[in-house]
Amino acid sequence: MKADIITIGDEILIGQVVDTNSAFIAEELNSNGIQIRKIHSIPDLAGDITSTLDESIQSSDLVILTGGIGPTNDDITKKALASYFDSKLVVHEKSLEHIKKRFSGMKIELSDRNIKQAEVPEICEVLPNRNGSAPAMVFRKEDKIIISLPGVPFEMKTIVQEEVIPLLNKAFQLPVRIQKTVLTVGIPESTMADRLKSWEESLSSNLNFAYLPSPGLLRLRLSISGEDKKRMHKRLDDKTTELVQIIGEKHVFGFDKDTLAGVVGRLLNEKSLTLSVAESCTGGNIAHLVTSVPGSSVYFKGSVTAYANEIKTQIIGVKETDINSFGAVSEPVVQQMASGIKKIFKTDYSIATSGIAGPDGGTPEKPVGITWIAIGTPDKLISRKYLLGDHRERNITKASLIALNMLRNSLL
């Protein structure tokens, strides 16, 4: 069972908006066992719509189009579809009622433009759009299904989940496909690939494995297709367990939609522990990640960004003599930052960072990318040095994630 997605709109082709609709639709279809063959983004041109539709119908069982059914002149998808299916546009009474109700609710007068939105090709089946004015349309051609949806993400999403997925489940015998993503930190993609080589080669053909890297993180996705859902879940769980064993729990921080800050927060919360942070090179980013988690105020007391050395000494209590002897980027300083903030903020755990984020400030002895990270726990201090790279933004991201993972490991 294959599908094509066609997103329509000039704004996509000039790079003015990022097309997030196709990713949403792809995920919804994929998790219902429908494989996406191709995603097309095309301009608001009737010729492009019909030629892309032709190609898609030839290769796929299902085609989903989004966009180009709004009230303005550049929205021509509906006309193109009417001509493609050789059907005339007629007013859909139920949709007109719905539009009238919406506008009177918002105390806005109905214009001709709005009434025209209730027009659809006569042969289509209409799916209601409860968040907007443009009705969604379903066409059938032989055993293929073509669905045209509005491009406004929040209207489209509701229609997909409430109308399209049930319709597809009725129309097609959908295969079962389930997946699990293992989230890792601290191992580069190529090293990971070497470590997993023989395991990967041993996977059976109904199992699919993919590497999804992003700065500081590497996500590993396992997916399985088949018929017996219970057995598939069991097999996916077994393979996931193997994967975690090979990689090591130290580097696996979670699964699927987990975030590192969220996982750390859950651990702190469960154990009723508190956290403080003293940041130099990460400049506030660790505090930002920690506080991005809703409810973080329960365990996070606060942080100090100690960019100037005098803040390190006067606020966090780092010894000035140690900064002079070893430099601000050194093990003694990062350790004193971790123990100092823990004591002053009266928390159970603490994180501290000190490094050279770049692009300037490096020396032959301490190059750009050098980063000291320390974790303060109730009974000890852990500190480690990392060499990250030469890109400021990535160094900040990587150091923040490594630090959060060090904390996670201390909490386990």
At closest approach, how far in Å is the CB of 46 from its own copies?
A: 15
Residue 189, CB-side half-sphere exposure with 13 Å CA sphere: 11
Name residue 36's beta-bridge partners.
3
The nearer residue to its own copies, 30 or 87, going by C-beta atoms, is 30
What Cα–Cα distance (Å) separates residue 183 from each residue in 196, 352, 390?
Answer: 15, 24, 25
Count CB-CB contacts under 10 A for residue 158: 15
Count CB-CB contacts under 10 A for residue 39: 17
SS3 65: strand
Encoded one letter per residue, x for contact with its own copies by CB under 8 A and - for no contact, window 372-411 reads: ---------------xxxxxxxx-x---------------
Q: Where does this chain touch its own copies (CB under 8 A) — which range of 159-167, 227-235, 286-294, 374-382?
A: 286-294
Encoded one letter per residue, x for contact with its own copies by CB under 8 A and - for no contact, window 227-266 reads: ----------------------------------------
Among 1, 32, 46, 48, binds its own copies (CB under 8 A): 48
Q: Where does this chain touch its own copies (CB under 8 A) — which range of 80-88, 139-147, 242-250, 277-285?
A: 277-285
At closest approach, how far in Å is the CB of 330 from its own copies?
A: 17
The nearer residue to its own copies, 17 or 125, going by C-beta atoms, is 17
At closest approach, how far in Å is the CB of 86 from its own copies?
A: 25
Residues 51-70, interacting with its own copies (CB under 8 A): 52, 70
| CB neighbour list of residue 156: distance below 8 Å, 6 or more residues apart | 21, 24, 25, 66, 149, 150
Give all strands (DSSP E) within 152-274, no chain letters: 176-185, 207-214, 217-226, 252-255
The nearer residue to its own copies, 41 or 87, going by C-beta atoms, is 41
d(CA 32, CA 354): 47
- Report which secondary-structure segment, H or E, holds 291: helix 285-291
Tokens of 275: 């956290």
Q: Where does this chain touch its own copies (CB under 8 A) — which range of 80-88, 228-236, 299-307, 329-337?
A: 299-307
d(CA 23, CA 209): 19
d(CA 339, CA 273): 16
The nearer residue to its own copies, 73 or 412, going by C-beta atoms, is 73
Looking at residue 145, what DSSP letter applies?
E
Encoded one letter per residue, x for contact with its own copies by CB under 8 A and - for no contact, window 306-335 reads: xxx-xx---x--------------------
Cβ atoms of residues 385 and 372 within 8 Å: yes
Encoded one letter per residue, x for contact with its own copies by CB under 8 A and - for no contact, window 7-46 reads: ---xxxxxxxxxxx-xxxxxxxxx----xxxxxxxxx---
Encoded one letter per residue, x for contact with its own copies by CB under 8 A and - for no contact, window 102-141 reads: ---xxxx--x-xx----------------x----------
Residues 336-355, interacting with its own copies (CB under 8 A): 344-346
What Cα–Cα distance (Å) separates residue 241 from each residue in 2, 97, 171, 247?
Answer: 31, 54, 36, 10
Residues 84-103, interacting with its own copies (CB under 8 A): none
The nearer residue to its own copies, 7 or 148, going by C-beta atoms, is 7
Residues 164-193, interacting with its own copies (CB under 8 A): 179, 181, 188-191, 193
The amino acid sitting at 46 is A
d(CA 249, CA 244): 6
At closest approach, how far in Å is the CB of 406 from its own copies?
A: 18
The nearer residue to its own copies, 109 or 379, going by C-beta atoms, is 109
